[in-house]
A and B are shown apart, each in its own frame.
Chain A
Amino acid sequence: MTKANQQYAENLQLELRRGVIVLAVLSQLRQTHYGYSLRQALVDKGFDVNEGTLYPLLRRLESQGLLNSEWDLEEGGRPRRYYTLSEAGQAILTDLKAEWKYLGVVMDGLLVDDK
């Protein structure tokens, strides 16, 4: 593979991952997380995501009403903003999950190796 094609393939992979990042984030926010703990939860399950993408995304999802957030300003501790799914976020997660499962079946069918 040429260097240009390699770059193109990497960009496509990145696009693919970007497409599912919202679903991945919503799936983990059924439990309350702050930014870094969420990132760890995702990485632990094999979904590596750049912090510069993840943290602003949390804000955007919150402004769209999919997440609720709350500051925890414990005395002497580090201020942390905790995020959890809102009711609207839960509904969206249910829809996205169904779509993902459907796509998974379709894609498996499409990508099956020729015998």
Chain B
Amino acid sequence: MDLIERYVAEVGRHLPRQQRVDVQTELRSLLQDMVEDRAQTKVDKADEAVVTAVLLEMGHPEKVAASYQTRPQYLIGPQLFPIFKIVVTVVAVVLTAVTLLGVVLSAWNSDAFLTDVTTSMVRAIPDVIGALFSAFGSVAIVFAILERVIPESELTADEEEKWDPHQLPAVDGGREMKRGELIGGIVFGVIFLLLLNAFPQWAGIIVLHDEQVMTVPLFSANFYTNLLPWANLLLLVSIGVDVYKLRFRWQNRTTLLLDIGVNLLTAVVVYIFMVNGPVLGVNAALAQATDFSQEGIEVFTNIFAFIERIALPLILITQFIAIAPKGYQLWQLPKGDTPPMVAGKMG
């Protein structure tokens, strides 16, 4: 009898509080039924060997408790795991790239640049490893929480239902999106986002002044005050689309639509830049930081004004030129008609 109580208590320890007492009451009753049936006597008079045999037959308490759980017992389930893998890869690459960039920038002004970069990189290895473990842990925690917060119906939303055979790439056609290109795009986007928002002093032109390397901010005060949110929006959307594309790797209707969306958003943002410029504002800062003659500064100022005047409309036009082939590819994709069901198909 004591063994049954110990078994029931142990099962209870692995059950959620809200169902513990209920399951324990039922389990105790069932075990007593089993023992009495086997021993052909009241449970308190039953031989311990019979009780032991019944408990062994029932199974390990942790396993039995796990069977009572309505949700699967894993940290990150099969539905979220593919996205988890992508996020971990991206975070690892971005983290390493940002750390290396930090090492290079910190040694930028050094006389012995190469030696300092090499030493700093070697010194940074344990930090990078530590940061990677920490980032992995943080991502895992976020996904573990998502696994428990997202309703089960959402998690088990059948991929098969959303899957369209017509979106499969042709055997010898369809463009595979290179993993390296996508990760590169994401890394570049994140670094640019960080530069603009966290380290604007580094987002500039490198000049030599009094035998010292200096960075002159490239973007105007107007850009940081009025236009930065638009730049951030564009970068975040681009990063998001690249992360999504990384999951599928093959161009399909959705990725083409997303690409067109990014082109349109870029066009809108560039138009806002054109109307609310200036974006570049190097002239005053350059004058302060350099010994350039007035003529030299004017040349630079004119160059940047020219770049802004020419580059922005050019980028705007490029977006529409880029949309055209994507629109054509989209039109070329077979329409997503549902194929007729095969009668009597099993499985």
Which residues of A are in contact with B by a Cβ distance under 8 Å?
Answer: 34-36, 40, 50-53, 55-57, 59-60, 63, 78-81, 103, 106
**Beta-carbon contact of B33 and A36 below 8 Å:** yes
8 Å CB contact of B67 from A40, A56, A80: A56
- When each residue 60-77 of chain B gets 1 if its CB lies under 8 Å from chain A and 0 otherwise, what string results? 000110011010000000
Give chain A residues whose Cβ lies under 8 Å from the Cβ of B57: 50-52
Is B23 part of the binding interface, using a Cβ–Cβ cutoff of 8 Å? yes
**Beta-carbon contact of B64 and A52 below 8 Å:** yes
Binds A, one of B24-32, B125-133, B184-192, B228-236: B24-32
**Beta-carbon contact of B34 and A55 below 8 Å:** no
A-B contacts at CB below 8 angstroms, number: 49
The distance in angstroms between the C-alpha atoms of A63 and B69, with both chains bound, is 11
**Beta-carbon contact of B29 and A79 below 8 Å:** yes
**Beta-carbon contact of B29 and A52 below 8 Å:** no
Q: Which residue of the partner chain B has the closest CB to A56? A: B67
8 Å CB contact of B34 from A36, A57, A59: A36
**Beta-carbon contact of A59 and B23 below 8 Å:** yes
Give chain A residues whose Cβ lies under 8 Å from the Cβ of B27: 55
Give chain B residues whose Cβ lies under 8 Å from the Cβ of A40: 37
Is B339 part of the binding interface, using a Cβ–Cβ cutoff of 8 Å? no
Is B59 part of the binding interface, using a Cβ–Cβ cutoff of 8 Å? yes
**Beta-carbon contact of A35 and B67 below 8 Å:** no
8 Å CB contact of B30 from A51, A63, A106: A51
Give chain A residues whose Cβ lies under 8 Å from the Cβ of B208: none
Give chain B residues whose Cβ lies under 8 Å from the Cβ of A81: 25-26, 29
Is B58 part of the binding interface, using a Cβ–Cβ cutoff of 8 Å? yes
**Beta-carbon contact of B26 and A50 below 8 Å:** no
Q: In this complex, which of B25, B29, B346 has the most chain A Cβ atoms within 10 angstroms of its Cβ?
A: B29
Give chain B residues whose Cβ lies under 8 Å from the Cβ of A53: 67
Q: Which residue of the partner chain A has the closest CB to B58? A: A52
**Beta-carbon contact of A52 and B67 below 8 Å:** yes
8 Å CB contact of B58 from A51, A79, A106: A51
The distance in angstroms between the C-alpha atoms of A5 and B289, with both chains bound, is 79
Restricting to B1-48, which residues have a CB under 8 Å from any CB of A?
Answer: 23, 25-27, 29-30, 32-34, 37
**Beta-carbon contact of A36 and B68 below 8 Å:** no
Give chain B residues whose Cβ lies under 8 Å from the Cβ of A34: 29-30
Q: In this complex, which of A56, A57, A80, A103 has the most chain B Cβ atoms within 10 angstroms of its Cβ?
A: A56
Give chain A residues whose Cβ lies under 8 Å from the Cβ of B29: 34-35, 78-81
The distance in angstroms between the C-alpha atoms of A63 and B30, with both chains bound, is 19
Give chain A residues whose Cβ lies under 8 Å from the Cβ of B58: 51-52
Task: Tell whether A35 pairs with B68 under 8 Å between CB atoms, given A51-B34, A51-B58, A78-B33.
Answer: no
Q: Least Cβ distance of B92 to chain A in Å? A: 37
The distance in angstroms between the C-alpha atoms of A55 and B59, with both chains bound, is 12
Give chain B residues whose Cβ lies under 8 Å from the Cβ of A79: 25-26, 29
Q: Which residue of the partner chain B has the closest CB to A72? A: B29
The distance in angstroms between the C-alpha atoms of A63 and B25, with both chains bound, is 17
Q: Least Cβ distance of B104 to chain A in Å? A: 56
**Beta-carbon contact of A35 and B32 below 8 Å:** no
Q: Least Cβ distance of A109 to chain B in Å? A: 12
Give chain A residues whose Cβ lies under 8 Å from the Cβ of B32: 78
Q: Least Cβ distance of A29 to chain B in Å? A: 16
Give chain B residues whose Cβ lies under 8 Å from the Cβ of A80: 26, 29
**Beta-carbon contact of B26 and A52 below 8 Å:** no
Q: Which residue of the partner chain A has the closest CB to B29? A: A78
**Beta-carbon contact of B37 and A36 below 8 Å:** yes
Extra contacts, 4 of them, besides A55-B30, A79-B25, A81-B26 (Cβ < 8 A), are A35-B33, A36-B33, A56-B68, A80-B29
The distance in angstroms between the C-alpha atoms of A35 and B37, with both chains bound, is 13
Q: Which residue of the partner chain B has the closest CB to A52? A: B59
**Beta-carbon contact of B70 and A35 below 8 Å:** no
Q: Which residue of the partner chain A has the closest CB to B64? A: A52
Q: Least Cβ distance of A36 to chain B in Å? A: 4
Q: Which residue of the partner chain A has the closest CB to B54? A: A51
Task: Tell whether A50 pairs with B33 under 8 Å between CB atoms, given A56-B67, A60-B70.
Answer: no
